[in-house]
Structure 1
Amino acid sequence: MTALVASVMTGLAAAAGVISPAGAVAPAAAVTPGGAVPSAGAVSPGGAVSSAGVVSPAGLVDGGADGSAATMAAAFTPASLKSGDVADLVFTLRRSPGTIGDIGVGFTVVLPAAVKTAGAGTTWYENTCGGTVTRPTAGAIQLWDALMPDVGYCSVTVHATAFQAGTYAVSSSDVSEVTPGLVPSFTATLSVTARPYVVAFYQPPGQTAVNVPTALGIAVINPTGVSVPFAFTATLPPHMRVADLGREIPQSPCVTASLAPAGGGTVKAAGTAPPTLGLEGCGVLVPVVVDAPGTYPATGVTVSDATNVPPRVTDVGGIGDCEPCALLVTSLTVSPPPTLPGHPAGARRTAGGLDFGDEFRTPLDTLRD
């Protein structure tokens, strides 16, 4: 077991057109004698000028009072949330009065360390500005090669979440690599109230075979600073069920009631979660088996009948200020059944049925202690 999982188990128990990366001024970003920007005005992440991002001379000469062709604002909606909930960080790009023609836009913004994007694949953002939205580095959001539409404005919406209590701000000072003529002017503030939330993780290394037992931990993390009573029903993903090992499900002392019938697809738990630090939590460690090959993310576990916790499993990859989170195994890979006769390696036969080897028993023993 890793030190992190050991900690979990212990807790269960108790961010133009101007500067190239090398610092040189990009030749294409030079201003002509007439004061107009050359036909390629938008800057790509590598410092090169995009042929599509044309900034018209009128857009710079006849723009806003500050000489802008477009302005950039931002706000969180809602401006406050509870741990694990999602808010939209909306960046609105708007043409300045009197601008005409195409306006190329692009920027990079860095989020606070505790604020993370929420959603897999491309579901973490929405974009009406065209171009490309990426996450070039941890905590950075980038729009490049986009054009302002004739309607006068466009937006990039980032779905964001946070888990640590506090007030977090994103402002103009966090914006860099801005295309010429785009002027950021904003401070967006998000207030987060701590509350307990549910996490799930698998027994390392997160690999097993069809019908070979492994373990699924389901725990309540409580960053509120006070003890909080909780209850939830967790439903396992399709093809997964509670394994019958002929013994009780290990649980934390802070869990006062749990129910995980062998062969079933639900796990119920209730108790009082003490204040915790990091990923120390209060919950159960459930032996499970899967009857079909595939990949099973821990977030595939659904939560219902929830008291004082959100009705879902939190993606630990989105938890800010949590270096050890990356060590948790949050996806299970299930291979086809073993082709050789006999029991899988590391297993043994006991009076109570198929049991695990010592590698598995270590966290169980830790949980019991």
Structure 2
Amino acid sequence: MTQDVFADVIGQPEAVAVLRTAVAAAHGDPSVPPAAMTHAWLFTGPPGSGRSVAARAFAAALECPDRGCGHCVHCRTAMAGTHADVRTVTPEGLTIAVREMRAVVQLAARRPVTGPWQIVLIEDADRLSEAASNALLKAVEEPPSHTVFLLCAPSTHPDDVSVTIRSRCRVLSLRIPPPSAIAEVLVRRDGIDPDTADWAASVAGGHVGRARRLATDQDARAERERILSAPADLRSFGAVFGHAAELLADAKAQAKAVSERRDSAELEELRTALGAGGTGRGAVGAARGSAGVVRDLERRQKSRATRTERDALDRALVDLSGFYRDVIAVAFGARQSLTNPDVLPELEVAAGRFGAEGALRRLDAVLECRLAIEQNVKPQIAVEALMVRLWRG
């Protein structure tokens, strides 16, 4: 039997209940107050909590005549990101530009084509530039009656979402799903064997996508092992720079792999669309006129590669922060709810070496490194400085 669209919103029963009630109100159910549905929603929660998954499921249920059956054309296309009336904004660069936001807002003002709603789903709304945020605000303040805005962000903090946009949205807070719920969906949805699913769920820190990658990708497992081995290996100045270089190289390699899969295909498609290879009259002039368009695509691809590299580096820093968090817990005698239970012997050795206080100083260093990179400090400088602090304590 086909699962409905909310089946993969893992470990969020309260949030799903709110969304189902809103869908019922949107479909005119007389048993539900109309106020249960509103035109703007803000999905918040830590990375991996499923913000965009919940938002996309909500969009599908709003478009579906059966409130999210999971198998009709509205559900299938909305969940696949191809529904004519559901527009998804996913930042490929470091920010969402005002030009992109204005174009989306203009399209959202049109009447729906196939469903009852025009829906704009903005993933990583915390990446909206100030100008893009202002463009969105105008639409959220005076939305068309048939338009719904779904924003996803880590929190309601002003650094993530402007206060004015936040005040015009209904906030739906998601939590980190428990490992048992993550393991269940890995087995059910992805066909992963239960033992592997249990292990991946236990070390993923509540991040569903991370758990799936660890369960299915040997390279991801090897990368995690290298990162978690760093604290024990930082015994000399040479090791400091060696691990810094390795961390940066891994992030670059991941970004390059993603870019190679997408960039050449995108560039070839654009050149074909612009008439590349044509021999007729005007072909040379058309090629000259298209050079600016090609350069614009190349700039966007470069920005996307930078973001992909920084995201990969941030995942590594999250793993490191989880290690030192566990060391603090072990130093105080806790053995339950560890982020990395499979490396307990290493945690105990680290706790014996520098204790809770030393682990806390190192954890602060990791968090400060993440912040520095977010504020555009050159990654090499930030990571090398971090490794020195981890070595010296």
After TM superposition, the score normalised by the length of structure 1 is: 0.25
Higher RCO (Cα < 8 Å, 6 or more apart): 1
**Comparing both structures, which one devotes a greater share of its residues to strand?**
1
**Comparing both structures, which one devotes a greater share of its residues to helix?**
2
Task: State which structure, 1 or 2, has the greater radius of gyration over its C-alpha atoms.
Answer: 1
